[in-house]
Amino acid sequence: MTKVRAAVVGGGIVGVAVARELLLSGTAASVELFEKEPALAAHQTGRNSGVVHAGLYYEPGGLKATLCRRGVGLLQEVAARRNVPYEECGKVVVARDDAELARLRLILDRALANGVPGVRMIGAAELQRIEPHSRGLAALHSPTTAITDYAAMTRALALDFTEAGGTVRLGHKVTAMTDGGTRVSVTTGGTSSSFDLVINCAGLQSDRLAKASGDSANPRIAPFFGAYFLLRPERRALVNGLIYPAPDPRYPFLGVHLTKRIDGEIMVGPNAFLAGGREAYRALQLAPRDLAAVAGFGGFWRFAAGNVPAAVREGRTVLSRRVFIDAARAYVPELELSDVMPGHRGIRAQAMNPDGSLVDDFVITGNARIMHVRNAPSPGATSSMAIAEHVVALASAR
């Protein structure tokens, strides 16, 4: 395939990693990366918590588990070579009662099956040695869980890509991808170019591009926003690394946690609630087209009907800062309302099936000429280079 001319749509970390892998693997002779924004990593990649997940939660043998573990090693290599900040600050997943402790034991079994290094159960006393201001019955400790700057990592991958001869086209919104049978026409701003292979990594817009190119309408993206608060500088000592709750199977989202960021900030959050649009980052910002798409999708209403308690829980954190912070105080009791200030807001591209179920694993569809990365939720950034290897291997096979 050394004469293949390829294109990648989407300048987040997954798209850039895929474009880079196409060139470095020799799968394509030339690659163009199209990004509609004036900079890379403008959406999910640049608005997440920066956590490099170790692979605790994921079903052994699934794509998330295998690609997450592979992805961690690849990120470490690029961080060292390109001087991208990277810190193994460690993570505790805290159990407050016996029911949560039972969940932690199940997570430990998964983590061990996935080969997560150093992971173990610890008691309340050791929890306080690691996180002196945290309280709990017990915890799962993952010492190699890390943090990084994913926007900087994306730029590092883009530098590898351009040094290998790749072309980055910023400010180029792809409006159509047409499969002509032997070649694919990609249209941006009224201009079309022809490629042998196109890979759609458009994140929040991935389902729309997939459908427009002839792929299935499902799964569809339902945008959920997550808001964060930041600890005031004088209170950052309340948290050393990452303090997470034990996942509750009754809820589709994890809940509020406390996360050290690579720049030293401490984030509290996020919550999770339906966003006013796929790129509606401001409070009360609405995108009528996006809302209409959600309202017209039966899968969303089935999801909503089955998750009323979760909607109530998350809705209370949206309406009340006190409720939001009280959720974090369950793990760090010294935290006060006056200790926080508003942070940023991100939007998660959550893929959803027509039956209302959330798509949990990575989803890649398409044919020999057009491929679609339709779902790359957490640990998508951690797994980005491993996802790229997987996608490019599929493309080569086809």
pLDDT tens sequence across 155-199:
999 999 999 999 999 999 999 999 998 999 999 988 999 999 999
From the number of C-beta atoms within 10 Å of its C-beta (0-12, 13-18, 19+), residue 289 rates as exposed
pLDDT for 127 beyond 90: yes
Separation CA 243–CA 215 (nearest Å): 40
The helix or strand, by DSSP H or E, that contains position 170, with its residue range, turns out to be strand 167-170
> Could you tell me which of 149, 119, 376, 127 has the C-alpha nearest to residue 239?
127
Mean pLDDT for the chain overall:
96
pLDDT in tens, 63-83: 999 999 999 999 999 999 999
Residue 1 has pLDDT above 50, yes or no: no
In this predicted structure, the answer to whether residue 392 has a pLDDT above a threshold of 90 is: yes
The pLDDT value recorded for residue 252 is 84
Predicted confidence at residue 251, as pLDDT, reads 84
Q: Are the beta carbons of 123 and 141 closer than 8 angstroms?
A: no
Domains in the chain (CATH in brackets) are 5-50+151-219+359-397 (3.50.50.60), 91-143 (no CATH), 220-358 (3.30.9)
The neighbouring-strand residues paired with 94 are 139, 245
Give the separation between CA 265 and CA 232, rounded to whole angstroms: 8
CA distance 381 to 286: 27
CB 124 within 8 A of CB 141: no
Comparing C-alpha atoms, which of 36, 362, 365, 371 is closest to residue 199?
371
pLDDT (tens digit per residue) in 20-35:
999 999 999 999 999 9
φ, ψ for residue 291, nearest 5 deg: -65, -40
Q: Does the pLDDT of residue 395 top 60, yes or no? A: yes
Q: Tell me, what's the pLDDT at 2?
A: 60
Q: What is the Cα Rg of the chain in Å?
A: 21
pLDDT digits (tens, 9 = 90+) for 346-379: 999 999 999 999 998 899 999 999 999 999 989 9
| Residue 139 scores a pLDDT above 60 | yes
pLDDT in tens, 209-233: 999 999 999 999 999 999 999 999 9
Q: What is the pLDDT of residues 232-287, one digit of tens each?
A: 999 999 999 999 999 988 888 899 999 999 999 999 999 999 999 999 999 999 99
Taking each helix axis from N to C end, the angle separating 150-163 and 63-82, rounded to the nearest 10 degrees, works out to 70
